[in-house]
Amino acid sequence: MDDLHHIVVVGGGAGGLELVTKLGKTLGKKKRARITLVDAVLTHVWKPLLHEVAAGSLDSHANEINFRAHARKHHYEFQLGRLNGVDRDEQSIILAPITGEDGEEVVPERRLAYDTLVIAVGSTANDFGTPGAQEHCLFIDSLAQARRFHNLMLNAFLRRNYEARQGESGELPITIIGAGATGVELAAELRLASRELPVYGMNQLRPDDVRITVVEAAERILPALPPRLSAAATKELNRLDVPVVAGQPVQEVSSDAITLADGTVMASAMTIWAAGIKAPAFLAELDGLEATKTNQLVVERTLQTTRDANIFAFGDCAACPQPESDRPVPPRAQAAHQEADTLYDNLVKRLNGEPMVEFEYRDYGSLINFSRYTTVGNLMGNLSGRSLMVEGRIARLFYVSLYRMHQVALHGVLRTGIIWLMDRISRAMHPRLKLH
């Protein structure tokens, strides 16, 4: 096995896990290459679902994939560890020590040799250096953060319910900074929670007491998407009693309020930062690899990094050029999925000594899900190039299919069908919201 070409993929997000699954089922199973996945945590949850985990409308435990178990079934290896550096001369990565909950070192710093390295570590929220954001905002970049948010939300609702029982009046102001897809979808999930929790014993909590506000620096919500979709989403938020404050960057965040650029101070008991993304900071210091101002690794259209042909990067952590455009491929889930397919082909071609192909991004449209209320979006026509607005059940069907396609890539059609059936049974047996 030591003589096999070793492909190391760092990052078990949607793109990274799809890539190692495909490589494992072909190159790994046939002993043509050794495939290793490295991640800092033991399980995978599809990142677009994290806002549902945070609001309690999705049980993350039922949707987690254990890397070790998945690796065994799909002919690749898994290494637990956080990337701490790259040694390009020795072609090895450095993994940080693993420590227990008590801080005691379990596994020391170690090295893992590679012949081909793929970096797919995703992105984190970009607070743009806003004073107080790191100290006082909640973020939903990881499963741990989503679960922490859920617990804090339940405690805040419980406190408000208790205060109402004592005859105290008042509101629970929640502010979401950033009106991209995550911020808009989270607002709808929180509105659902505020309406559902009274059914489960918090009967003094009125939905009107939970005042959810979305703040966006741009002139409209969903600024990266077509204006028609933005208008439809704004209309739906208004219907859910979620006001939008647009055209107002946040100047400062405190423990109980936010200050806008025009000096307006808004009370906020819980503040969630969902505006902007950037790649992890350590990527800008990876042994001389070229990176952008937002820490993305600069890659060629073959997805190879510009300064090392043995290192590839894709997904949110990579800046891949688009032909006839001065902007890189957008950091979207569909882009990562497409890049994973192209990268798989290129890694096989590289192993066979064949010329690699260039990545070509295709925008298939966007879908915004408003929890159980509705879904709106636009789908791109393959022939005409025009977008088609969809909403309601049809849009919801397309939205759900995105996750099922991800599951098919990881488990196959049969197992995905079984998972779908188990999901249906679970929803029939359990509360509509996770209550703990």
pLDDT digits (tens, 9 = 90+) for 140-164: 999 999 999 999 999 999 988 888 8
Q: Which amino acid, residue 284?
A: A
- Decide if pLDDT at 139 tops 60: yes
Q: What does the pLDDT average to over 181-195?
A: 94
Average pLDDT over residues 213-231: 93
Give residue 385's pLDDT: 54
Residue whose C-alpha is closest to residue 30's, from 405, 313, 351:
351
Q: For residues 395 and 375, is the Cβ–Cβ distance under 8 A?
A: yes
pLDDT in the model for residue 384 = 45
- The packing angle between helices 413-429 and 393-411, to 10°, is 130
Residue 95 pLDDT grade (very low, low, confident, very high; cuts 50, 70, 90)? very high
Residue 126 has a pLDDT of 93
- What type of residue sits at position 168? E
The pLDDT, as a whole number, for residue 419 is 87
Please tell me the distance from the alpha carbon of residue 322 to that of residue 345, in angstroms, as a whole number: 19
Average the pLDDT over each of 58-62, 86-90, 211-215 and give the range with the smallest value.
58-62
The whole-number pLDDT of residue 66 equals: 96
Contact 48, 20 (CB under 8 A): no
Token digits for 126? 């970009």
Give pLDDT, residue 381: 54
CA separation for the pair 413, 291 (Å, rounded): 38
> pLDDT tens digit string along 291-330?
999 999 999 999 999 999 999 999 999 999 998 888 899 9
The pLDDT value recorded for residue 388 is 81
Residue pair 84/28 in contact by the 8 Å Cβ criterion: no
- Other beta carbons within 10 Å of 351: 15
Average pLDDT score over residue span 34-62: 91
Query: Token digits for 367?
Result: 């879908």
* 161-165: Cβ within 8 A, 24+ apart: 161/202, 161/203, 161/204, 161/205, 162/204, 164/204, 164/205, 164/206, 164/209, 165/204
pLDDT at 55 over 50: yes
Nearest Cα neighbor of 145 from 68, 60, 214 is 60
Q: Which residue has the tokens 């007491």?
A: 209
Q: Which pTM was predicted?
A: 0.92
pLDDT tens per residue, range 354-411: 999 999 999 888 889 998 889 998 887 544 456 788 888 888 888 888 889 999 999 9
The fraction of the chain above a pLDDT of 90, given in percent, is: 73
Q: Domains for the chain: give ranges and CATH numbers.
A: 5-123+279-352 (3.50.50.60), 133-275 (3.50.50.60), 365-429 (no CATH)
For 65-82, how does the pLDDT look when each residue is reduced to its tens digit (9 = 90+)?
A: 999 999 999 999 999 999
**Residues 23, 410 contacting (CB under 8 angstroms):** no
Which has more pLDDT, 160 or 2? Answer: 160
Residue type (1 letter), 6: H
Which H/E stretch holds residue 360?
Answer: none
CB atoms within 10 A of CB 352: 8
| Cα gap 67→295, rounded to integer Å | 27
pLDDT at site 61: 80
Average pLDDT value for the chain: 92
pLDDT at 395: 87
Q: How many CB atoms lie within 10 A of CB 107?
A: 13
pLDDT of residue 392: 87
Which of 18-32, 94-108, 134-148, 253-267 is least confident?
Answer: 94-108
